[in-house]
Amino acid sequence: MLGAIAGDVIGSVHEGADPQSKSFPLFVPASRFTDDTVMAVAVASTLLRGLDYAVALRQWGRAYPAAGYGGMFLRWLFSPDPAPYNSYGNGSAMRVVAVGWAFDDLDAVLAEAARSAAVTHDHPEGIKGAQAVACAVFLGRTGAGKADIRAAMEERFGYDCSASLATLKELASFDVTCQGTVPAAVVAFLESADFEDAIRNAVSLGGDADTLACITGAMAEAFYGGVPDHIASEVMERLDAPLANEARAFAAKFVKHQ
């Protein structure tokens, strides 16, 4: 959980930026949580407390109405009769991290990831994006190597993860689709040496930097066995009590690093 939130907070001030060097300060006074964190906590809360996904997403989302949601999701959030809207945006992928921790069987992870996405992002690409991220988290935390994770992304989900980070920077655009965001986040993770390096890779791509780093951070925490203390403490200071307490409660029950 904390890896995804850390990526969101660190990437928050870089959203919309051009590709950049990896040498940037991890935290500045304006670093903050965004909708990525709120929705990741909402999914965690669903699993922790046995809630309905649509109910939990709307409860948490309405508590933070200015967190930075996309227009279609914002309309869903406050609709009197919410229904899925065939989205393939990266929102389904950035919020799914908890699913990768809460189940000990890959088939169960994939089925639950689809459920977490379908209340809004019921387009096949929206479902696939959520499943791919949850799968990568599950594989990382259960001891799979990077080659195995890459193979799963390419063979099971059809994502092309062959481009280098340098190539992705040359081709960079502000892409908020699952099919654009998830493979780029995977590459940022695959090319990393440790958790911090993974976040720096993702943010350096620019564009939708907070979501890229959120997804990369989810994978990196699972694979590298946690979030470094100097990053974790800075991130937790930037969460309010409800978000911090729910994230801690989920981690206490489900997140066991090897």
61: helix, coil or strand?
helix
- The total of other beta-carbon atoms located within 10 Å of residue 256's CB is 9
> Angle formed by the axes of helices 209-224 and 178-190, to 10°?
40
Q: Which of 31, 164, 41 is nearest to 95 (CA)?
A: 41
- The total of other beta-carbon atoms located within 10 Å of residue 243's CB is 22
Q: Are 114 and 130 in contact (CB under 8 A)?
A: yes
Give per-residue pLDDT as tens, 88-126.
999 999 999 999 999 999 999 999 999 999 999 999 999
Torsion of CA 247, 240, 118, 202, to 10 degrees: -80
Q: What's the pLDDT score for residue 152?
A: 97
Q: Are 250 and 47 in contact (CB under 8 A)?
A: yes
Long-range contacts of range 145-150, CB-CB < 8 Å, 24 or more positions apart? 146/190, 146/223, 149/186, 149/189, 149/190, 149/219, 149/223, 150/186, 150/190
Phi, psi angles (nearest 5°) of residue 219 = -65, -45
Is 0.95 topped by the overall pTM?
Answer: yes
Q: What's the pLDDT score for residue 181?
A: 96
Cα 80 from chain centroid (whole Å): 27
Give per-residue pLDDT as tens, 137-149.
999 999 999 999 9
Structural domains of the chain in order of their starting residue, each with its CATH number: 2-254 (1.10.4080.10)
Q: Quote the tokens at residue 42.
A: 């909402």
Amino acid occupying residue 79: S
Q: Which of 65, 6, 68, 1 is nearest to 235 (CA)?
A: 6
> Angle formed by the axes of helices 178-190 and 124-141, to 10°?
20
Q: Which residues of the chain have pLDDT under 50?
A: none
CA angle 89, 95, 97 (to 5 degrees): 130
